[in-house]
Amino acid sequence: MAEYAPKEILVGMKSAVDPQLSPDGEWVVYGLSGIKSEKDRLKRGGQIWLSKRDGSEKRQLTYQGTNNGGARWSPDGQSIAFVSNRDEELALFGLDLAGGDPKKLVTHRNGIAAIEWSPDGTKLAYTAVIDPARPDTEKIDKEAPAPIKATSRIDYHFDTRGWLGDKRAQIFVYDLAAGEEKQLTNDPADHGSPRWSPDGKSVAISHSTGSFMFAKLEVIDVESGEILELMPGNGGLGGWSWTSDGEKLLVVADLDFEQHGQYYLVDARGHGMDRLTDLAQTPGSAGYGADHPVWIDDRYVLAPMQLKARSGIYIFDTETGQVQELTRADQQSQGFSTDASVRYVAQVVNTFAGAGEVAIYDRETGVSTTITNHNQALFEQFPPARWERLAVERNGFEIEAWLVKPANFDATKQYPLVLDIHGGPNGAYYPTWSSLQQILAGNDICVVFSNPRGSSTYSRDFTKAVTKDWGGEDYLDLMAITDAAIALPYIDSERTGVYGYSYGGYMSSWIIGQTDRFKAAAIGAPAFDLNSMFGTSDISWFWGAYQWGGDPWEAETIYKDRSPSAHIHKAVTPSLILQAEGDVRCPVGQAQMLFAALKKRNIEAELVLYPGGDHLFVWSGEPIYGIDFLERIVAWFKKHLGEAK
C-alpha cells in the first residue's frame, strides 16, 4: 500500500458544511468546501449544493466566486438567501430555485453571517461586520500605507479576525420588497444570531460584554429599535428559540462559565428566567456556531447534545427538565437543522470510516442515513485506519482514548507510537477521522489520542478538573494512556513520540520538560509561558484568569510553576516547533521562546514559521502551508521513530 501523502489527502478531501432542510423536508441545501488548483496555486473554496432528502437529484447550485455559504431557506421553500464573494466583496444574495440567476441584495466587505428569514418571508435579519474607521461605502486605497493602530480597549484583536479596534458585528434587517437595509445596532460590541419572534416584530440577539466569550441576550423591536436586555452578560450563550406565543425564549447558557451549558426559560418582557436543567450532556452539536433548539410542541424540544465524546439527538421536556436520548453514536455531528414538522434532522457526520458527509435522521423511524459520498473516491484510494478503544481509571475518572493503526495493519509487526493531544484544554477528541492521525497511520505510525480530565462532554466535574491544574492530573492522565498503549503487543515502547497543538502545544512542551520517555516531539502553536500569554494572547487576559486562578499578580505560583518555560531546562527531546506568525491566540513569541530555550541547551530543535496566518491556519489558511505542516510532522516522526518492523 502506498504511503499516505498529505497533499493527496488534503486536496482530495471535501467537507460538507451547514446542511439546511427545506420547510417541507424534501430538500437539503449545504455548503461543500475543499481545496482546488487555480492558476497553478492551491486555493480553498466553497460552493452551495442541493439534494433531495434521500440523496438523489444532487446538484451544484453556485459556481461563481470562491466563498459561497450560509444558505437559508425562505419560509415557503421557494428560494434561498446566501453569502458569496462572486463580485470580490462579500454580499448577500437571493436565489429563486425555480430558475434565474442569484440577485445581489447588499454588500458588506467585512463579512455577512447568521442569515434568518422573517416568519412571513418579507425580510432578512443577519449580522455584518462594520468598521467605523473604514465604512463600507469608503473606497480602499490599496497603495496607501497601512493604517496606524491605536486603541484604548483591551479586546482590540481577535484570532482569525486580526486587529479589530472598534470593528464589530452588527445586526441588520433587509426589506426584500423595498430593497432597503436597516441597521439595528451600532455600539462597538459583537452582536450575533438574530432570531425572529413568531409575530415578526422583534429579533432576539446576543450582545458581547467586554470579552469574546461572554454575552447578554437582548430583544430588539425592529420598527422602533428599542432594545430590552433579557439575560445579563456574565456567561456564555449557546442557542435560543422563541415559544410559539412569543412570550418566552428557551436559551442555552453557561452562566457560571463552566464550559458546560444548561437550559433556561427566559421571559421575553424581561421579567426574569428559570433554570430548567442540570444536564450531564453538553448542549449543542460539535459544530460551528450556535445550534438553536427546536420546539416540537409547547412542551417538548428537539436538540443536539454531546455525551462522552459522542454526538446525539435528544428530546427535552421543558416541564420536568428530563431528556430522552433518541440517538447517540461513535461520531461527531456538526450543525442542526430540521424541517417544519420536526420529523427530519440534517447534520454533517464524521466517523472513523468517513468524514464531512451529510446525514439525515428520521425521528419517525429512528434511522439515520448518510446521503452524500463526496469522499468515496478518496477513501477508496486511501482506506481509513483501523482503530480500537482504550480506557484507564484514575482518581475516580475514566480516561477514554482511541488508537488508530494502518489500514493494512500487521499484528506481527512492532509499530512506533505518537501520543496526540487535543486543544482547549476544554476541547474533546471524538472517535472520528482526523487528517493528521490518518496520514501518520498511513505511514505505519500508530496514534493514540484521548480525553484527559478537562475535556468537555464528560460532565461538568470532569471538565472543571483541569482548572488551576494545567500540567497536573491532566499530564498524569496522558501518561497513563501512553502506558496503556505501549502495553499492546504491536507497539514498540522504545519508539514513542508526542504531538499537540494549542493547549496540546502547551502539554507537549510541558511533557518534554517532565520526562525523557518520548524520542521526538512535534509542538504546534504552544502556550509556553503563561505570564507573557496573559498580555499578548487575544483571550488570555480574560479566559486565563478562569483557567489559571486569577491574573498573574493574583496567582503568581501557578503562572510560574505551571509554565513549560519553568521546566524546559530539563528537556532532552528533539522537537519540531510549528507556528503561524499571525497567530494571536497563542502568539508567535511563545514558539520562539521554546525554540530559543532548547537551542541554548543544544537540544535538537527546528522552528517553522508560516507567514501571516492565524491559530487555525492549518485548517483554514493557505493550503500549501497546511500541507507543509503535515509533511514536516510525518517526516520528523519517521526520522526519529523509524518504521514498523
Please name the residues in contact with 8: beta carbons below 8 A apart, sequence gap of 6 or more: 381, 382
> Is residue 352 within 8 Å of 432, Cβ to Cβ?
yes
- In this structure, the answer to whether residues 400 and 441 fall within a common structural domain is yes
Percent of the chain at pLDDT > 90 equals 87
CA distances from 14 to 9, 358, 431, 554 (A): 10, 12, 19, 47
CA 261 – CA 304 distance, rounded (Å)? 12
Q: Stretch 571-587: mean pLDDT, rounded? A: 97
Would residue 53 count as lying in a domain? no
* Per-residue model confidence (pLDDT) at position 288: 58
- CATH code for position 466: 3.40.50.1820
**pLDDT score, position 247:** 97
| Predicted local confidence at residue 127, as pLDDT | 98
Is the domain of 462 the same as that of 346?
no
Torsion of CA 466, 467, 472, 473, to 10 degrees: -30
- Mind listing the pLDDT tens digit for each residue in 472-481? 999 999 999 9
Q: Which three cell numbers stand for residue 171?
A: 445586526
The residue written with cell numbers 494549542 in the block is 502
HEC string of 109-130 equals CCCEEEEEECCCCCEEEEEEEE
Q: What is the mean pLDDT of residues 291-316?
A: 95
What pLDDT is stored for residue 565 in this prediction?
Answer: 98
- Separation CA 150–CA 163 (nearest Å): 10
Looking at the domain assignment, is residue 623 inside a domain?
yes
Residue 183: what pLDDT? 97
* Shared-domain flag, residues 434 and 564: yes
Tell whether the model's pLDDT for residue 77 goes beyond 90.
Answer: yes
Query: Residue 42 burial (CB < 10 Å; 0-12/13-18/19+)?
Result: middle
Task: Please indicate, yes or no, whether residues 542 and 558 belong to a single structural domain of this protein.
Answer: yes
SS (H, E, C) 399-442: EEEEEEECCCCCCCCCEEEEEEECCCCCCCCCCCCCHHHHHHHC
Task: Tell whether the torsion through CA atoms of 209, 123, 84 and 12 is positive or negative.
Answer: positive
**What does the pLDDT average to over 429-451?**
97
- Residue 289: predicted pLDDT: 61
Residue 598 lies in a domain: yes
| 189 backbone dihedrals φ, ψ, rounded to 5° | -145, 155
615 and 477 co-located in one domain: yes
Whether 582 contacts 162, CB under 8 Å? yes
Same-domain check for residues 568 and 432: yes
Residues 286-295 have a mean pLDDT of: 79
Band of residue 203 on the pLDDT scale cut at 50, 70, 90: very high
The domain boundary residue, chosen from 342, 359, 381: 381
Residue-wise pLDDT tens digits, 530-570: 999 999 999 999 998 899 999 999 999 999 999 999 999 99
CATH number of the domain encompassing residue 321: 2.120.10.30
Give the residue from 336, 351, 381 where a domain finishes. 381
CA distances from 405 to 10, 487, 629 (A): 19, 15, 21
Q: Give the pLDDT confidence score for residue 626 in this predicted structure.
A: 96
Q: Dump pLDDT digits (tens) for 127-150.
A: 999 999 888 888 888 888 988 999
487 and 404 within one domain: yes
Please report the pLDDT score of residue 324 as a whole number.
Answer: 96
Residues 398, 506: one domain? yes
Residue-averaged pLDDT of the chain: 95
Eight-state DSSP code of residue 67:
B
* C-alpha cell read off for 447: 496514534
> Taking phi first (over 0 means left), then psi (-120 to 50 degrees means alpha), and beta for anything else, what does residue 525 get?
left
> Does the pLDDT at position 2 exceed 80?
no
- Residue 287 predicted with pLDDT over 80: no
Q: What confidence tens digit (pLDDT) does each residue in 366-404 have?
A: 999 999 999 999 999 999 999 999 999 999 999 999 999
C-alpha Rg value of the chain to the nearest Å: 25
Residues 6 or more apart from 399 whose CB is under 8 A from it? 391, 392, 393, 450, 451, 452, 453, 477, 480, 481
Mean pLDDT over 433-457 rounds to 96
In contact, 163 and 129? CB cutoff 8 Å: no
pLDDT for 256 equals 84
Same domain, 428 and 493: yes
Cβ atoms of 474 and 425 within 8 Å: the answer is yes
**What pLDDT sits at residue 1?**
52
Give the C-alpha separation, 444 to 227, whole Å. Answer: 59
Is residue 67 situated within a structural domain?
Answer: no
Domain with 313, as residue range(s), is 281-381
Identify whether residues 500 and 630 lie together within a single domain.
yes
Final residue in a domain of this structure, among 354, 381, 408: 381
pLDDT in tens, 591-613: 999 999 999 999 999 999 999 99
For the chain, the domain total comes to 2
> Rounded to whole angstroms, how far apart are CA atoms 343 and 420?
39
- The pTM is what? 0.96
The reply to whether 162 falls in a domain is: no
Asked if the structure places residue 56 within a domain, the reply is no
Q: Whose CA is closest to 328, among 295, 361, 290, 353? A: 361
Residue among 87, 85, 74, 78 at smallest CA distance from 115: 74
Same domain, yes or no: 466 and 575: yes
The cell for 469 is 491544574
Co-location of 331 and 469 in the same domain: no
Does the pLDDT of residue 79 top 80, yes or no? yes
Identify whether the C-beta of residue 548 lies closer than 8 Å to the C-beta of residue 555. Answer: yes
Angle, helices 503-511 vs 473-486, to 10°: value is 70
Q: Is residue 360 part of a domain?
A: yes
The answer to whether residue 274 is domain-embedded is no
